Amino acid sequence: MNRFWSRIATIAVATTLLGCSGATEPLGNHAEFGRALWLARRPQAYSFDVAITAFFSAPGYVRVRVSDGQAVDARDSSGQTVANFNLTIDDIWNNVEAARVRNEVNAIRFDERGVPVEADIGTWANDGGVHYSVRNFAASR
Protein backbone atom coordinates (compact mmCIF):
# COMPACT_ATOMS: atom_id res chain seq x y z
CA MET A 1 0.00 0.00 0.00
CA ASN A 2 2.91 2.38 0.70
CA ARG A 3 4.11 1.96 -2.88
CA PHE A 4 0.64 2.96 -4.11
CA TRP A 5 0.62 6.21 -2.13
CA SER A 6 4.18 6.94 -3.17
CA ARG A 7 3.16 6.74 -6.82
CA ILE A 8 0.11 8.93 -6.19
CA ALA A 9 2.35 11.53 -4.55
CA THR A 10 4.72 11.41 -7.53
CA ILE A 11 1.85 11.99 -9.95
CA ALA A 12 0.62 14.92 -7.85
CA VAL A 13 4.08 16.51 -7.71
CA ALA A 14 4.64 15.94 -11.43
CA THR A 15 1.28 17.47 -12.30
CA THR A 16 2.01 20.51 -10.15
CA LEU A 17 5.46 20.98 -11.65
CA LEU A 18 4.24 20.55 -15.20
CA GLY A 19 1.52 23.11 -14.58
CA CYS A 20 4.21 25.64 -13.62
CA SER A 21 6.26 25.16 -16.79
CA GLY A 22 5.90 26.46 -20.29
CA ALA A 23 4.63 24.16 -23.01
CA THR A 24 7.97 24.22 -24.85
CA GLU A 25 10.23 23.39 -21.88
CA PRO A 26 11.69 19.85 -21.92
CA LEU A 27 10.78 17.70 -18.91
CA GLY A 28 14.42 16.67 -18.51
CA ASN A 29 15.36 20.13 -17.27
CA HIS A 30 13.04 20.12 -14.26
CA ALA A 31 15.19 18.98 -11.34
CA GLU A 32 12.22 18.75 -8.98
CA PHE A 33 10.32 16.48 -11.38
CA GLY A 34 13.34 14.21 -11.91
CA ARG A 35 13.97 13.92 -8.19
CA ALA A 36 10.30 13.09 -7.57
CA LEU A 37 10.53 10.32 -10.19
CA TRP A 38 13.65 8.96 -8.49
CA LEU A 39 12.18 9.06 -4.99
CA ALA A 40 9.04 7.23 -6.13
CA ARG A 41 10.90 4.48 -7.97
CA ARG A 42 14.36 4.15 -6.47
CA PRO A 43 15.47 0.60 -5.83
CA GLN A 44 17.40 -0.24 -2.67
CA ALA A 45 20.01 -2.14 -4.69
CA TYR A 46 21.44 -1.02 -8.01
CA SER A 47 24.62 -0.37 -9.94
CA PHE A 48 25.75 2.42 -12.23
CA ASP A 49 28.80 3.98 -13.85
CA VAL A 50 29.65 7.57 -13.00
CA ALA A 51 32.25 10.02 -14.28
CA ILE A 52 32.84 13.16 -12.26
CA THR A 53 34.38 16.24 -13.80
CA ALA A 54 35.47 18.99 -11.45
CA PHE A 55 38.48 21.21 -10.79
CA PHE A 56 40.33 18.13 -9.53
CA SER A 57 38.87 14.90 -10.84
CA ALA A 58 39.95 11.41 -11.76
CA PRO A 59 39.58 10.42 -15.40
CA GLY A 60 37.10 7.80 -16.53
CA TYR A 61 34.06 6.09 -15.13
CA VAL A 62 33.74 4.37 -11.78
CA ARG A 63 31.41 1.36 -11.47
CA VAL A 64 29.40 1.67 -8.23
CA ARG A 65 27.27 -1.00 -6.55
CA VAL A 66 24.66 0.16 -4.05
CA SER A 67 22.83 -1.99 -1.51
CA ASP A 68 20.28 -0.75 1.03
CA GLY A 69 20.92 2.79 -0.17
CA GLN A 70 24.69 2.64 0.57
CA ALA A 71 27.61 2.32 -1.84
CA VAL A 72 29.18 -1.07 -1.13
CA ASP A 73 31.70 -1.33 -3.97
CA ALA A 74 33.38 1.04 -6.42
CA ARG A 75 35.81 0.01 -9.16
CA ASP A 76 37.65 1.85 -11.89
CA SER A 77 37.65 0.76 -15.54
CA SER A 78 40.50 -1.70 -14.89
CA GLY A 79 38.54 -3.39 -12.09
CA GLN A 80 40.62 -1.96 -9.27
CA THR A 81 38.81 -0.95 -6.08
CA VAL A 82 38.41 2.80 -5.63
CA ALA A 83 38.87 3.51 -1.93
CA ASN A 84 36.49 5.87 -0.11
CA PHE A 85 34.17 6.23 -3.09
CA ASN A 86 30.65 6.21 -1.67
CA LEU A 87 28.59 8.22 -4.16
CA THR A 88 25.01 7.05 -4.77
CA ILE A 89 22.25 8.37 -7.01
CA ASP A 90 20.66 9.84 -3.87
CA ASP A 91 23.90 11.74 -3.21
CA ILE A 92 23.90 13.15 -6.73
CA TRP A 93 20.29 14.29 -6.29
CA ASN A 94 21.16 15.82 -2.88
CA ASN A 95 23.99 17.78 -4.53
CA VAL A 96 21.67 18.91 -7.34
CA GLU A 97 19.05 20.01 -4.81
CA ALA A 98 21.63 22.01 -2.83
CA ALA A 99 22.77 23.66 -6.07
CA ARG A 100 19.14 24.36 -7.05
CA VAL A 101 18.57 26.21 -3.78
CA ARG A 102 21.64 28.36 -4.60
CA ASN A 103 20.40 28.80 -8.20
CA GLU A 104 23.50 26.94 -9.48
CA VAL A 105 22.03 24.16 -11.59
CA ASN A 106 23.59 24.73 -15.00
CA ALA A 107 22.01 21.72 -16.69
CA ILE A 108 20.22 18.54 -15.68
CA ARG A 109 19.02 15.61 -17.73
CA PHE A 110 17.42 12.49 -16.30
CA ASP A 111 15.76 9.37 -17.63
CA GLU A 112 12.22 8.07 -17.09
CA ARG A 113 13.25 6.53 -13.73
CA GLY A 114 14.61 9.83 -12.45
CA VAL A 115 18.25 8.74 -12.80
CA PRO A 116 20.30 11.90 -13.43
CA VAL A 117 22.21 10.93 -16.57
CA GLU A 118 23.87 14.37 -16.81
CA ALA A 119 24.05 16.97 -14.07
CA ASP A 120 26.13 20.11 -14.25
CA ILE A 121 26.08 22.18 -11.07
CA GLY A 122 28.04 24.91 -9.35
CA THR A 123 30.04 27.89 -10.47
CA TRP A 124 32.81 26.93 -12.86
CA ALA A 125 34.36 30.42 -12.82
CA ASN A 126 35.68 29.88 -9.28
CA ASP A 127 36.41 26.15 -9.72
CA GLY A 128 33.27 25.19 -7.81
CA GLY A 129 31.53 23.39 -10.66
CA VAL A 130 30.87 19.66 -10.83
CA HIS A 131 29.59 17.58 -13.73
CA TYR A 132 28.20 14.08 -13.18
CA SER A 133 27.72 11.67 -16.09
CA VAL A 134 25.82 8.49 -15.23
CA ARG A 135 25.41 5.50 -17.51
CA ASN A 136 24.53 1.80 -17.30
CA PHE A 137 22.12 2.16 -14.40
CA ALA A 138 20.57 -1.19 -13.45
CA ALA A 139 18.35 -2.14 -10.55
CA SER A 140 19.50 -5.31 -8.78
CA ARG A 141 16.29 -6.36 -7.08
Interatomic CA distance for residues 121 and 99, integer angstroms: 6
Indicate the pTM of the whole model.
0.78
- 11-20 pLDDT, tens per residue? 555 444 444 4
CB 41 within 8 A of CB 13: no
Quick one: pLDDT at residue 24?
Answer: 36
Quick one: pLDDT at residue 51?
Answer: 96
Residues of the chain with confidence (pLDDT) below 50: 14-28
The residue extents of the domains of the chain are 43-139
Interatomic CA distance for residues 100 and 11, integer angstroms: 21
